[in-house]
Amino acid sequence: MIGKMKTRDRLIQILEASPNQWISGEYLAETFSLSRAAVWKAANSLRSEGYLIDAVRSKGYRLVTDADIMSDLGIIQYLSPDCRNLDIRVLSEVGSTNTLLKEKADAGSPEGTVLIADMQTDGKGRAGRRFYSPADTGIYMSILLRPVETEPSRGLRFTTMAAAAACDAIHDVSGKEPGIKWVNDIYLDCKKVCGILTEGSLSMESGLLDHVVLGIGINAYCPEGGFPPALKDIAGAVYDEKQMDGRNRLAAGFLNRFFAYYCQKDSDSFTKTYRRHSIVIGKEVTVISGASKRRALALSIDNDFRLVVQYEDGRTEHLSTGEVSIRLENDKSGVSSGD
């Protein structure tokens, strides 16, 4: 039976049996009792059908099923029709996508301008921290929003909307169940896989928000050799192994989910998602404010996304991010969360 198969069919059968593995041209030629030129011809015929086949003289051939190169078009192909008018630029390296986008915002770039980097040399985290942003493993994205007549106090809704959208998108691509640690860190298996930094600019005339730069960093994969020592116990990744178009799909999935929430008039739907993913509600927490540390029970998240806690003396308080941070009891990572 096998003798009657076309070389093209036999070649794809062998390559598909060992995806992403190199198989030497010599071995294939011997197996098919053909010349190496005939193998080359069959590989080209598969390529013309759309198969992604790498050929390297010293290594042979391999069927690529885990190529994950972020690109404008690679992301756009997965966008929903509502997101097709976004202006997306993927950069190979940048200091910080937030810093660059803030410059563009000041120069008048419109809402929907999106900068994504494969690597950041000066990635910014909250509270003046740095955000580790190595090449080829993460999505470092900033989105420019120009919300209409929005009080600065409403700015937190964009951060929480992004957290809800990130959970949706991570679940869509991986099937995993991420959790949100108030206010906007995303966790998988007790490790942080995503952080969000929202920076707003006020109009001096109106006192309203002029624009918002929403920055989100997602660890799609663990870096080769693992995270640096300071992060290895606290940082995790969305995917366990390389995925074909993994980052393009995740970046587009996030944009689709985020703009679906952003375009809705009410905040019901993302608020529900946000609360559903909270890993804080019902847990013992330590509330940290300056030098003071108090134990409390996290009861709920109110409609302004303040965390409602009850202290040991029975008193309750609505905590605003920016003023306090919290640490989950029994959280080995020791990472506190807050803006």
71-100: contacts with ligand BTN (CB under 6 A): 96-98
113 binds ligand BTN (CB under 6 A): no
Closer CB to ligand BTN, 141 or 319, in the complex: 141
253-312: contacts with ligand BTN (CB under 6 A): none
Contact segment (CB under 6 A) with ligand BTN among 49-57, 64-72, 137-145, 279-287 equals 137-145
Selected from 61, 132, 140, 227, the binder of ligand BTN by CB under 6 A is 140
Cα–Cα distance for residue pair 49/52, rounded to 1 Å: 9
Cα–Cα distance for residue pair 150/202, rounded to 1 Å: 10
DSSP 216-247: EEEE-SPPTT-S-TTTTTTB--S-SS--TTHH
Structure tokens at 145: 């929003």
Place of tokens 């098919």: 32
142-181: contacts with ligand BTN (CB under 6 A): 142
CB of 94 to ligand BTN, least distance (A): 8
Taking the mean position of all CA atoms in its chain, how far away is CA 48? 33
How many residues touch ligand BTN under the rule CB under 6 A: the total is: 20
Residue 180 and residue 167 in contact, taking contact as beta carbons nearer than 8 Å = yes
Which long-range contacts does 18-22 make (Cβ < 8 Å, 24+ apart)? Answer: 18/63, 19/62, 19/63, 19/64, 19/65, 19/66, 20/62, 20/63, 20/64, 20/65, 20/66, 20/242, 21/62, 22/56, 22/59, 22/60, 22/61, 22/62
Stretch 193-222: interaction string toward ligand BTN, x if CB under 6 A = --xxx-----------------xxx-----
141 binds ligand BTN (CB under 6 A): yes
CB of 99 to ligand BTN, least distance (A): 7
Cα–Cα distance for residue pair 100/81, rounded to 1 Å: 27
Selected from 6, 47, 59, 129, the binder of ligand BTN by CB under 6 A is 129
Contact segment (CB under 6 A) with ligand BTN among 102-110, 191-199, 287-295, 305-313 equals 191-199
Residues at the contact surface with ligand BTN, assessed by CB under 6 A:
96-98, 120, 123-126, 129, 131, 140-142, 185, 195-197, 215-217
